[in-house]
């Protein structure tokens, strides 16, 4: 079983930055992928950024150039650094980890960007 705990969300003004953290209950390199998704009210849940066990990362077009996914193996934690935030980035952000074919989800953390 995999537990994921997100933190770092909050209220920020447009143009500001936040760093989300996702602490995993096991070695993060045991996961095929780790990713961040987000879901705004009334919208579907969308992929924001993903990193493979080999370190390759990919981003949604809306996140490219502004968001960075990174990992700290010593802390079993994956991060999402979000810069130049926009009101349309407002959403609940979820961390996931794919382990033996199963996508495990955290509880989510709210990010609100005011204009």
Residue 114 is predicted with a pLDDT of: 98
DSSP per residue, 5-50: EEE--EEEETT--EEEEEEESS-GGGSSEEEEEEE-TTS-EEEEEE
Mean pLDDT in residue range 86-113: 97
pLDDT in tens, 5-24: 999 999 999 999 999 999 99
Question: Tell me: the pLDDT tens digits for 70-91?
Answer: 999 999 999 999 999 999 999 9
Task: Say how far apart CA 16 and CA 111 lie, in whole Å.
Answer: 12
- What confidence score (pLDDT) does residue 16 get? 98
Residues 115 and 102: their CA atoms lie apart, in Å, by 38
**1 pLDDT above the threshold of 90:** no
Query: Radius of gyration (Cα) for the chain, nearest Å?
Result: 13
């Amino acid at each position: 079983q995999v537990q994921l705990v997100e933190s770092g969300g909050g209220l920020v003004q447009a143009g500001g930055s936040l760093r989300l953290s996702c602490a995993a209950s096991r070695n993060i390199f045991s996961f095929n992928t780790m990713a961040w998704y987000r879901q705004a009210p009334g919208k579907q849940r969308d992929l924001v950024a993903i990193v493979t066990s080999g370190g390759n990362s990919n981003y949604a077009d809306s996140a490219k150039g502004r968001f960075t996914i990174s990992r700290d193996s010593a802390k079993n934690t994956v991060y999402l650094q979000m810069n130049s935030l926009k009101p349309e980035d407002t959403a609940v952000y979820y961390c996931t980890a794919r382990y033996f074919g199963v996508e495990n989800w955290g509880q989510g953390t709210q990010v609100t960007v005011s204009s």
